[in-house]
Each structure stands twice: as structure tokens, then as C-alpha cells.
Amino acid sequence: MSATMKATLLSVIERLASFNEVYLGYDNTQAMLEANRCLMCENAPCTMGCPASIDVRGFIRKIRFNDNRGAIRLIREENIFAGVCGRVCPTEMLCEQNCCSQALTDPIRIGALQRFLADWEMEVGRRPFSLPLADRQPVAVIGAGPAGLAAAATLRLLGYPVTVFEQNSYAGGAMVNVIPRFKLPRNIVDYDVQLIRDMGVEIRLNEPIGKTIVPSTLLEEGFSVVLLAVGLQESYKLGIAGEDLEGVYTALDLLTAANQVESAREVKIGKHVIVIGGGSAALNSACCALRMGAERVELTSRRIPAEMGAFEKDKLQALDEGVQINSRFRPTRILGKNGKVVGLEGVRILGKEGDNLTDMPDSRIILNADTVVIAIGQRPDQALAHCFNGLEVANNGCLMINQETGQTSDPKIFAAGDILAGDNIRTVVQSVAEGKTAAKAIHEYLSR
């Protein structure tokens, strides 16, 4: 069977040789076959499962009815990041989870169909835009990640001139610096971001966010509202000895280095890597390490895979690629010699369920390692905290908003994206949804 036709996945040997995309896309025949499997439900549960409210049934029907143009239009009108989400969305827990086809055979591969359409549009060229004049009140957005950019696009289409202020030298946020290239090639992000520029949204890079760019100065300069979409730029620490040794990195360090982002801290991956954590950042870090020279990568977590927060595809990929999963492990100390990491000490923990665990007596374990990656989550950047002066924040520093009005405790300041307090699973599509919601709230507020 030919590689192209069989594979929606590169073989493991091929994968580890580079950061090339692991999943391959559909061709026209495959897309049509898959679209033909769709039951064409009314009040489609897939549509209801999409955080961005894409008319999923509608776009699949358009593929089936030979109208790819109309199909990609339906997607982009609700989610400007059609290309990015077509690749990174954990559709198995969103639209596909509800798919009625699974009662008969398998859920429709909705993500693959969306990706097919985004790639098709890139290939044949997009339609020109029809844009309103940007003659309403000017809006400032801080942060050119998915939430900020989705909000900017929505506002622009409502007639607002938008300026996005970004601290990095690139736009895209986590799409560029945290999601691995083997999931999301850079050109896909750049294409979607360029659409937003083409709409007339101004994106200013290398801006000193938190220094001269803070909401109050922007409001003084004439912007009518400010949207904070600054994301979570810092990493949580374990709070154990040895975290400052040479060879200890955070997931952010490793992922940005893997993605060759300019501002990345220098990361030297040794031969024996241990990643601590169970989210997608941890699983992705492990797979990146395998591509960065590691001979052995082990992942330690308090949780077993079924309990881990990582997306299914990320877990499966790590497993296939040979990441050793060491569950029910609690790290106690990072061991060093001459200032460099030589190992990780921890204990075995017992229990049936990830949060109700106790240390197993006399179970001190020492794992060899020359690199340790701490991937236990991200938090708001402390340096930006004074941007939030006076704004209501949660215990973890995330911003609270009024669910009805979308405003923070300052009516002229709105928030969206990872910086929002709350339990929503963080995905690009969730940030897009929050950006859209914030944009509509801003429009409500400015139209009153």
C-alpha cells in the first residue's frame, strides 16, 4: 500500500528524523469519501460541540455538494484560524465527540476535513475580502495570540480600527512558540495571521508590553477600550531542590527552542531526558526532545495516561515514539553534580485516582537524567502584573471578567484567552471563541 494513501500518519522512523508534520492531510477523493459518511444531522451535535460555533454540518455538506469555497467561508467566518485549528484542535473531545456517526461506525474526521479545506484555500488562493470602513472607535488589543487576533478580526469586520500590540518579534503567540512544528508548521500560522493583516488590522511587534504599553496609557492615547489577551508567559515551578541546576528547563524553554523562536533561552538537550508533567505541553516536550538529540526520554507524572490532561493525539504520539511513561511518581529533588543535573529523585505514590494519592512508604526512587524539563503548567507573567493594577484577579493571577458584559472590573478593559480565570481546557479554538465573545462585548459597550 502506498505511503501517501495509507498514511494519515508518518511512520515513527520518518517522524523522529525531523520536525515535519506527523499527520498528513486528505486529498480530494479522501475528503469526499469522508464527507459522504456524514449523516447530515439536523441540529447537528458537532456544531453544538464547537467552541467557535462553526456550522460543522454546513461545511461538510458543502464539501459533499461540490462547493469548497462555500465550505471554507463557513469556517473562516466563525474561526479566522481555520488553518491552525484544522491541525491542532482536539476534535476528538469537541465536535467529533458528539458525532452521531459513531453510533453507526466511527465519528467523522471533522478536523481532517477542516484541514483539507484550509489547505485547499491556500493552494487555490482565497477570495478577496469585502470589508466595512474602519470608522468606529479605535480599539487596542494587547497580545497577538489567537484570542487577541480573533478579537481583532471580529472587531475589524464590525467596523472598528484595531491595533494589536505584541511584545515578541512575531505574531501568533502560542501558535508560533509553544505548539510544536510537527503539529503545526509555521507557514500555516503565518497564513492565517496574514489574513488578519490583510483585513486591515494593525499588528505592532516588539512592543514593550507592561512598560510603556499598559492599558491606562493606551486609553489616554485615544483608544476607546483595551482588550488584554496576554496569555500565560511564565511557568510554574515545582518548588523542589535542584530546580536551578544546569540542564533543568521549563516546557516553555524547550518548546520555544524546538520551534527556533528567536527569544528562546538556549537549551541543550542531553541524552537522558526526564519530562515532569501530564499535559500536552509535557507530552509535546517529550516528543520534541526525541527530535533534539535525546536517546531516552522518560515522562514522570502523578497521573496515569487516562487521567492526564494531554490531548489523545499527543499521548498516542508520545507512546508510539517511545517516550517512557512513569506514572504514579512524585518528584522530590533534582540531583546535581558540579552544578549539572545528574538525576531525579522521587517517590512512588499509591491510589486509584490521580488526586487522592499517598506516598508509598520506603519507595525512594532515583532516575538517571542529564536533562529535566518541568512541564507542570503556565501562569501569568509577574512582570505584566502591574498591567492589571486594580483589576480583579483570581488566586492564580488570572483575570476575572463579568460573564455578561465581558468587562474586567474596569469597564474599559476586557480580557480573553489563556489569561482568563476559569476551568476551560485551553485550546486555540477556546481562545478564538473568547476573543470573539470579547469583541462582541466591546461592540455592545461602544454602541450603547
Q: Give me the count of residues in the chain.
A: 448
Give the nearest distance from C-beta 220 to another protein in angstroms. 33
Does position 67 interact with another protein (CB under 8 A)? The reply is yes
Give the nearest distance from C-beta 30 to another protein in angstroms. 8
What cell numbers appear for 301 in the block? 507524572
What cell numbers appear for 317 in the block? 504520539
Contact predicate 280/255, CB 8 Å: no
Give the nearest distance from C-beta 181 to another protein in angstroms. 25
Contact predicate 308/217, CB 8 Å: no
3-class DSSP state of 319: helix
The residues, any chain, with a CB within 8 Å of residue 282's CB and separated by 6 or more, are 251, 275, 276, 299, 301, 310, 373, 375, 376
Give the nearest distance from C-beta 128 to another protein in angstroms. 5
Give the nearest distance from C-beta 156 to another protein in angstroms. 10
Give the nearest distance from C-beta 37 to another protein in angstroms. 11
| Nearer to another protein (CB atom), residue 161 or residue 305 | 161
- Residue count, binding to another protein (CB under 8 A): 27
Give the x-and-dash track for 23-42 against another protein (CB under 8 A). Answer: ----xxx----------x-x
Does position 125 interact with another protein (CB under 8 A)? The reply is no
| Nearer to another protein (CB atom), residue 154 or residue 317 | 154
Does position 239 interact with another protein (CB under 8 A)? The reply is no
| Nearer to another protein (CB atom), residue 126 or residue 412 | 126
Orientation angle between helical segments 110-124 and 68-78, nearest 10 degrees: 110
| Nearer to another protein (CB atom), residue 68 or residue 371 | 68
Give the nearest distance from C-beta 65 to another protein in angstroms. 4
Cα 429 to Cα 33: distance, rounded to the nearest angstrom: 26
| Nearer to another protein (CB atom), residue 4 or residue 338 | 4
Out of 37, 126, 348, 379, point to the residue binding another protein (CB under 8 A): 126
Task: Burial-class residue 6 by CB neighbours within 10 Å (0-12, 13-18, 19+).
Answer: exposed
Does position 185 interact with another protein (CB under 8 A)? The reply is no
Does position 61 interact with another protein (CB under 8 A)? The reply is yes
Does position 157 interact with another protein (CB under 8 A)? The reply is yes
The residues, any chain, with a CB within 8 Å of residue 315's CB and separated by 6 or more, are 283, 305, 308
Does position 2 interact with another protein (CB under 8 A)? The reply is yes
Pairing of strands 225-228, 413-415: parallel
| Nearer to another protein (CB atom), residue 124 or residue 366 | 124
Does position 128 interact with another protein (CB under 8 A)? The reply is yes
Cα 6 to Cα 153: distance, rounded to the nearest angstrom: 38
Give the x-and-dash track for 74-103 against another protein (CB under 8 A). Answer: --xx--------------------------
| Nearer to another protein (CB atom), residue 40 or residue 394 | 40
What cell numbers appear for 398 in the block? 488570572
Element (H, E) at 156: helix 146-157
Of residues 402-431, those binding another protein (CB under 8 A): none
CA 112 to chain centroid: 18
3-class DSSP state of 414: strand
Task: Burial-class residue 266 by CB neighbours within 10 Å (0-12, 13-18, 19+).
Answer: exposed
Give the nearest distance from C-beta 317 to another protein in angstroms. 25
Q: How many CB atoms lie within 10 A of CB 85?
A: 30
Give the nearest distance from C-beta 153 to another protein in angstroms. 8
Residues lying near another protein in the complex (CB under 8 A) are found at 1-2, 4-6, 27-29, 40, 42, 61-62, 65-67, 69-70, 73, 76-77, 126-131, 157
